[in-house]
């Protein structure tokens, strides 16, 4: 199949999926109380006037402040009212955190992600280490499910990112270093306890700390038996990725080094995969959303309804289109460049993701 044909088919799939999801969220028998109430405020009828993805621009922007406070059941679609419900939090360093209800989305997202992982670096049946946030977060349960879905067992550390952000804001750098060491010590204890862990999730900062701590002990991530790392966070720059490959991971996978795949995601969207990273492309990282369940656009800074030209710079706009959760356009706190479709992901991507320049100075990244 030619790329043009694949792009057209992906667009048709996204259009049909968008129509189906809007029908579900705005029909009296299946929709959530939140969207059914919101429907009365709209200047159009979603059930008859949203026929394709581009029609989502008729909606006002989604406001993440809507997710603060309760009752969270207002987000549960009537079609799922008898299902067990998870609630996951995001943010919340100060004030009331944002919450998202989930039934199975985190499982589905990570099963789809699992299909993109190369088996030689993420062997089926291998055990995993989750070196990332614990607590009321989707990520821990999702990584655990990923390990189980692939036939392995997931080992976790205790890590409270809200405390990390408070330490940074208070300027308690000595405490911050001790807390980071506390988290890395937990990871090394697990890795040296004979659990045969070959895969892991972590963030760039924690990966670097782990590599440094192992080097101090005369060892390395490679020598611990790790073959594949899935990582996420806005710290991923080409410079950092090159450093990680050359200094922390023992070279490229082709040279026998540890395989690392960056991801871009959050509690609203799920997980966007990256195009394989190569030295030939100067370690550029391009992310592609898991269409049709989520989509991203790179839009003009002054007009979020206009997508930038290919290669142009703009703000990341996110859409979530699952039966559990509907986001008809949300402006992320990130900017980047629009990337072209390619054979594996025949839809637009985004590269060079970094904090949106108007907000960058106010963003505290913490451990992510």
pLDDT digits (tens, 9 = 90+) for 179-209: 999 999 999 999 999 999 999 999 988 999 9
Tell me, what's the pLDDT at 360?
61
Tell me, what's the pLDDT at 155?
97
Place of tokens 């904090």: 355
Tell me, what's the pLDDT at 266?
77
Give the pair of three-digit tokens for residue 151.
């036939």
Average pLDDT, the chain: 91
Q: Is the peptide bond before 170 cis (omega within 30 degrees of 0)?
A: no
pLDDT digits (tens, 9 = 90+) for 68-127: 988 999 999 999 999 999 999 876 556 788 899 999 999 999 999 999 999 999 999 999
**Considering only 77-86, 172-181, 348-357, which range has the smallest mean pLDDT?**
348-357
Of residues 271 and 297, more confidence is placed in: 297
Place of tokens 């289109």: 321
Class of domain 77-355: alpha beta
pLDDT digits (tens, 9 = 90+) for 17-57: 999 999 999 999 999 999 999 999 999 999 999 999 999 99
Place of tokens 């308690």: 172
Tell me, what's the pLDDT at 161?
87
b (16+ CB within 10 A) / e for 216-241: eeeebbbebebbbbbbbbbbbbeebb
The pairing of beta strand 154-156 with beta strand 127-131: parallel
Q: For the CA atoms of 7, 13, 15, 17, what is the dihedral angle to 10 degrees?
A: -150
Whether pTM exceeds 0.85: yes
Give the pair of three-digit tokens for residue 72.
């969270």
Tell me, what's the pLDDT at 90?
79
Tell me, what's the pLDDT at 254?
84
pLDDT at 368 over 50: no
Percent of the chain with pLDDT over 70: 96
Please list, in sequence order, all residues whose beta carbon lies within 8 angstroms of the beta carbon of residue 49, skipping any fewer than 6 positions away. Answer: 55, 58
Tell me, what's the pLDDT at 336?
94
Confidence of residue 216 (pLDDT cuts 50, 70, 90): very high
pLDDT digits (tens, 9 = 90+) for 243-289: 998 899 988 888 878 999 888 877 777 788 888 888 788 888 899 99
Tell me, what's the pLDDT at 91?
66
């Amino acid at each position: 199949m030619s790329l043009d044909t694949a792009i057209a088919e992906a667009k048709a799939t996204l259009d049909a999926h968008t129509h189906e999801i809007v029908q579900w969220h705005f029909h009296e028998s299946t929709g959530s109380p939140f969207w059914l109430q919101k429907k009365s405020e709209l200047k159009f009828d979603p059930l008859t006037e949203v026929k394709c993805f581009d029609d989502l621009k008729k909606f006002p922007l989604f406001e993440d402040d809507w997710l603060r406070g309760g009752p969270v059941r207002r987000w549960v679609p009537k079609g799922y009212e008898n299902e067990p419900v998870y609630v996951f939090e995001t943010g919340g360093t100060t004030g009331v955190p944002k919450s998202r209800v989930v039934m199975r989305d985190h499982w589905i997202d990570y099963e789809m992600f699992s299909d993109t992982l190369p088996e030689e670096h993420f062997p089926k049946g291998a055990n995993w280490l989750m070196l990332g946030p614990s607590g009321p977060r989707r990520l821990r349960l999702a990584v655990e499910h990923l390990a189980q879905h692939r036939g392995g067992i997931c080992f976790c550390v205790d890590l409270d990112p809200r405390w990390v952000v408070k330490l940074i804001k208070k300027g308690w750098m000595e405490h911050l270093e001790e807390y980071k060491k506390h988290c890395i010590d937990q990871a090394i204890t697990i890795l040296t306890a004979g659990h045969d862990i070959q895969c892991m999730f972590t963030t760039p900062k924690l990966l670097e700390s782990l590599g440094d701590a192992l080097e101090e002990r005369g060892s390395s991530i490679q020598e611990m038996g790790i073959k594949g790392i899935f990582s996420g966070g806005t710290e991923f720059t080409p410079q950092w990725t090159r450093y990680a490959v050359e200094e922390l991971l023992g070279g490229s996978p082709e040279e026998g080094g540890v395989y690392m795949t960056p991801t871009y995601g959050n509690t609203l969207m799920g997980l966007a995969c990256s195009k394989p990273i190569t030295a030939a492309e100067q370690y550029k990282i391009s992310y592609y959303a898991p269409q049709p369940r989520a989509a991203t656009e790179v839009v003009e800074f002054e007009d979020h309804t206009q997508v930038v030209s290919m290669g142009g710079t703009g703000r990341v706009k996110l859409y979530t289109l699952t039966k559990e959760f509907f986001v008809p356009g949300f402006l992320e706190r990130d900017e980047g460049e629009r990337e072209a479709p390619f054979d594996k992901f025949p839809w637009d991507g985004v590269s060079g993701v970094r904090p949106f320049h108007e907000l960058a100075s106010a963003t505290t990244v913490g451990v992510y």
